[in-house]
Amino acid sequence: MHTLRLRDREFPPGDFAVMAVVNRTPDSFYDQGRTYGFEAALAAVDSAVRAGADIVDIGGVKAGPGDTVDAEEEIRRVAGLVAAVRAAHPSLVISVDTYRAEVADVVARAGADLLNDTWGGPDPALAEVAAEHGIGLVCAHAGGVTPRTRPHRIAYADVVADVIAHTEALAERAVRAGVRPEAILIDPAHDFGKNTRHSLEVGRRLDEMVATGWPVLVAVSNKDFVGETLGGLPVEERHAGTLATLAVSAWQGARVFRVHDPAAAATALAAVRRLRAEAPPA
């Protein structure tokens, strides 16, 4: 099992890292643009740090279908924020959610420590950018779908086997490109190129991904599969289901947890560590 090393932080097997989401988008499915403004986004980062976030993941493009956002606009939204966060929080691990190498190069120069490619490697140059700047990379599985699209009736013979094969191949390619192995994570990317049944299967068998030895990131916070599993709950009613899914993922060995509520996630993960006798009761 790899010890994850990002910036000056280490997250060995058994440790959990909370990754807080901060979106500079006007159309985020969760916050509907509440952190689109620069000052609002910076305040959200400050709040996440106070809540115990180990990593902050900054995004400039809505994951789902929506208005076209080119690379220039994505850079405008995220690069200045990354620089401001780096100045305000010198030791914070900063991640940027992007699948474009052009954007990645700019944010790496601004102070990013991790590139979070949630779309499964559509731009192969992203790994080269991570290697050039000595920063980390998230290798995710999205079933080969075009970024920001929702596939129709996607199918897998074995979704978990497909996830593992794809993410391991991306991780190994990143190592060949020069990315430090201890700075690479793999992510099943629940709901990306998957329906609810696929996402649940991945969640039940997450320990198979953990067994690869690569640190596993899970991004399940308030996602559609959580709402659909619980009878069609809207986004604002998925909090309890999110925490339950986080706990199950942590129990199976996931390492990093991308969330909208870092304080609640940190509490849930502390409970898992104590239930597993990996930490003494508080």
**How confident is the model over 81-105, as pLDDT tens digits?**
999 999 999 999 999 999 999 999 9
pTM of the model: 0.96
Measure the CA–CA gap between 7 and 30, rounded to whole angstroms: 28
Residue 281 placed within a domain: no
256-259: strand order across its sheet: 184-187, 136-140, 114-117, 93-97, 55-59, 17-23, 256-259, 217-218
Indicate the pLDDT class of residue 280, thresholds 50, 70 and 90. Answer: confident
Measure the CA–CA gap between 197 and 225, rounded to whole angstroms: 8
| Residue 279 reports pLDDT greater than 80 | no
Residue 282 placed within a domain: no
Indicate the pLDDT class of residue 258, thresholds 50, 70 and 90. Answer: very high
Mean pLDDT score, 51-71: 95
Residue 280 placed within a domain: no
Residue 30 placed within a domain: yes
Mean pLDDT score, 120-140: 98
Mean pLDDT score, 31-47: 94
CB 186, CB 167: distance < 8 Å: yes
Average pLDDT of the chain, as a whole number: 96
Measure the CA–CA gap between 74 and 11, rounded to whole angstroms: 30
Beta bridge partners of 152: none
Give the pLDDT of residue 152. 84
Q: Which bin fits 13, alpha (ψ -120 to 50), beta or left (φ > 0)?
A: beta
| Residue 27 reports pLDDT greater than 90 | no
| Residue 120 reports pLDDT greater than 80 | yes
Give the pLDDT of residue 28. 84
**Cα 160–Cα 162–Cα 166 angle in degrees, nearest 5:** 120
Which residues form the domain of 252? Answer: 4-275
| Residue 278 reports pLDDT greater than 80 | no
Measure the CA–CA gap between 90 and 279, rounded to whole angstroms: 28
Mean pLDDT score, 160-187: 98
**Quick one: what percent of the chain has pLDDT higher than 90?**
91
Number of domains in the chain: 1
Q: What is the CATH number of the domain that holds 102?
A: 3.20.20.20
pLDDT, tens digit (0-9, with 9 covering 90-100), for 198-249 = 999 999 999 999 999 999 999 999 999 999 999 999 999 999 999 999 999 9
Give the pLDDT of residue 169. 98
